[in-house]
Structure 1
């Protein structure tokens, strides 16, 4: 019979069997078996019973094996293995990077039931951004939830004890900045300027435009297919000599896989590059996806030349969403174009009405009343 791992074998009936040893009260050794349809399943069961055995041997009066004790290091390795098998590689790399940098050294030897929010807060650097601070606690809680579900460790949920200042939200380009940007991009346009126009008028993410291929453009139906993204991931805890790698994978979420109709003026610009002798596999680069950091640098250079204050590339996406809603577009359509899971994300995070928009809304209320009889309150009559 084939074997994989310590005391694990595959049976003739197709199931995997794992064996572990316990000591009875009279000192005799006995063996017990656990079974699963998969190697990974039996390995998880085997670890749970091995941990339970250690507890019972340390305290023979301990009869509750529902709350087992494991170190953060042991549990985290099992959890990361699970994430690697069930989540996107980019998600795995993010979690692994946070664990290696902020959790392993300071908390790896601590047992799960000993962990406290105050302990974490006292160790973490005080200059962390709000998003990273929350992400670290998120990783801790996912590790603990996994341990409770698969190994029976104590159920815990850690709440940050330090209120981090809220990061400044990404804003939008105002109407004057948009006019200056479009004027600059339209003058002596190249493929990089065309990519920025696509993001401003179609709402693509930075990674999506960098990973866009010519095959994703349906010229017959004038539709852009968003199928992939590219991002630079940390790989400091891998065998790679580089600290980061450029990784091409599926978009951010399943909702991000979408189709966007191409506006008429953009269609003509894109079409003009379709027969270019320099055309390759990717829209911005011939044979490899554009590095998002490189394109972000190009964007900053363009802003400077156009006389616009520096802002993040993602501001283009926020500007697109705000322009759509201000123009009267329904939130559902805008949400689908952006690839959001629901309209709440679109309206609460991406739409930033300016003071002129709010003023016009309030003035429009009076305009509707003035078309009929003037309200009494406007004549000073109560």
Structure 2
């Protein structure tokens, strides 16, 4: 076996992997390699469990979330498997332990009154930029999907919005050169390409606009050039401050939409499809946390069915 270092294997792996993944995915992989994996393992020619476990504990010490660390290890495993396949290194099985975190991170969502407050404000102070926030709160669209939305994605006859693309600024690493680039591409996964019905209120707002706008223009700018997520996030933060609403990430609008759907008793599969999740377990893990009242109702229902 002709052993190579992780750095050498990573160079070959990048070229092998590039044709098969989206540009934004590749950019994320390269960033993980540059910032985390090569500084820690670049000169190693093997990846025993002990080294990887130490790396994990070190990253936790630095404040990285378990989710971020697992994403980093996915890339490390891909590089290792590629090295093994080419007989450049030995395969190692890892059983990584993570410190148990008993605290369940609470999902950040708007209160019902603040949810309503934002919708009412945008309705009475209409702007194209504001419309994006209204759409996110009414459909659960992600910020990149909102920024990439065009008027021709809105069908007033059917009363639907179709999600076809997303926009993001990606970080490109090319040898010594590092720069960012704005990229418009297909959404996150194939399930993210989806059709969402509009509420009566949203339809009433966009119907008259559709008669006068250029179908090829972006909704947020009403122009041929889109706005990028970073800029739109700043606008959103400013609006929240103006309305005296507690700080909430833009993604919290999506969480708020999903939470309202669950609270209203919508079935989980439908909520999952509306959000464009690749499987229902993502939806269940994120949004379905029955409270004591719901648990009691469930038990009562079950005993009723037994004729008790």
Q: TM-score, normalised by structure 2?
A: 0.85
The RMSD of aligned alpha carbons is: 3.1
Residue 126 of structure 1, CA deviation: 3.5
Once the two structures are superposed, the pairs formed by residues 311-322 of structure 1 within 5 Å of their partners are 311-322=248-259
Query: Of the two structures, which has the highest relative contact order with CA contacts closer than 8 Å and spacing of 6 or more?
Result: 2
Say whether 1:78 aligns with 2:21: no
Residue 126 of structure 1 corresponds to 61
Residue 7 of structure 1 corresponds to none
Q: For residues 259-293 of structure 1, what are the alpha-carbon distances to aligned partners after superposition, in whole Å with 9 as ceiling and x for unaligned?
A: 11122211121223324468762111212222111
Residue 208 of structure 1 corresponds to 145
Would the aligned equivalents of 1:170 and 1:318 in 2 still touch at CA under 8 Å?
A: yes
Residue 178 of structure 1 corresponds to 115
Say whether 1:163 aligns with 2:163: no
Change in Cα spacing, 1:261 to 1:118, as seen in structure 2 (3 Å) is: closer
Change in Cα spacing, 1:236 to 1:363, as seen in structure 2 (3 Å) is: same
Would the aligned equivalents of 1:322 and 1:352 in 2 still touch at CA under 8 Å?
A: no
Residue 94 of structure 1 corresponds to 28
Give the secondary-structure state (helix, strand or coil) at the position aligned to 2:71: helix
* More deviation, 272-281/75-84: 272-281
Q: For residues 19-48 of structure 1, what are the alpha-carbon distances to aligned partners after superposition, in whole Å with 9 as ceiling and x for unaligned?
A: xxxxxxxxxxxxxxxxxxxxxxxxxxxxxx
Aligned residue pair count: 302
CA–CA separation in structure 1 for the residues paired with 2:104 and 2:185: 28
Residue 224 of structure 2 corresponds to 287
Say whether 1:149 aligns with 2:124: no
Residue 164 of structure 1, CA deviation: 8.2
CA–CA separation in structure 2 for the residues paired with 1:104 and 1:368: 55
Residue from 314, 324, 336 that aligns with 2:273:
336
Q: For residues 278-333 of structure 1, what are the alpha-carbon distances to aligned partners after superposition, in whole Å with 9 as ceiling and x for unaligned?
A: 87621112122221111111111111111210101111111111111221211111
Say whether 1:272 aligns with 2:188: no
CA–CA separation in structure 1 for the residues paired with 2:16 and 2:35: 19
Say whether 1:299 aligns with 2:233: no
Residue 248 of structure 1, CA deviation: 1.0
CA–CA separation in structure 2 for the residues paired with 1:329 and 1:259: 17
Residue 207 of structure 1, CA deviation: 0.7
Q: TM-score, normalised by structure 1?
A: 0.70
CA–CA separation in structure 2 for the residues paired with 1:238 and 1:226: 35
- For structure 1, list consecutive stretches of 5 or more residues without a partner in the other structure: 1-51, 56-68, 370-374, 376-382
Would the aligned equivalents of 1:204 and 1:338 in 2 still touch at CA under 8 Å?
A: yes
- For structure 2, list consecutive stretches of 5 or more residues without a partner in the other structure: none
Residue 202 of structure 1, CA deviation: 0.7
Give the secondary-structure state (helix, strand or coil) at the position aligned to 1:235: strand
Would the aligned equivalents of 1:340 and 1:346 in 2 still touch at CA under 8 Å?
A: yes
Would the aligned equivalents of 1:331 and 1:347 in 2 still touch at CA under 8 Å?
A: yes
Larger Rg: 1
Would the aligned equivalents of 1:145 and 1:156 in 2 still touch at CA under 8 Å?
A: no
Residue 121 of structure 1, CA deviation: 4.5
CA–CA separation in structure 2 for the residues paired with 1:295 and 1:87: 27
CA–CA separation in structure 1 for the residues paired with 2:212 and 2:176: 40
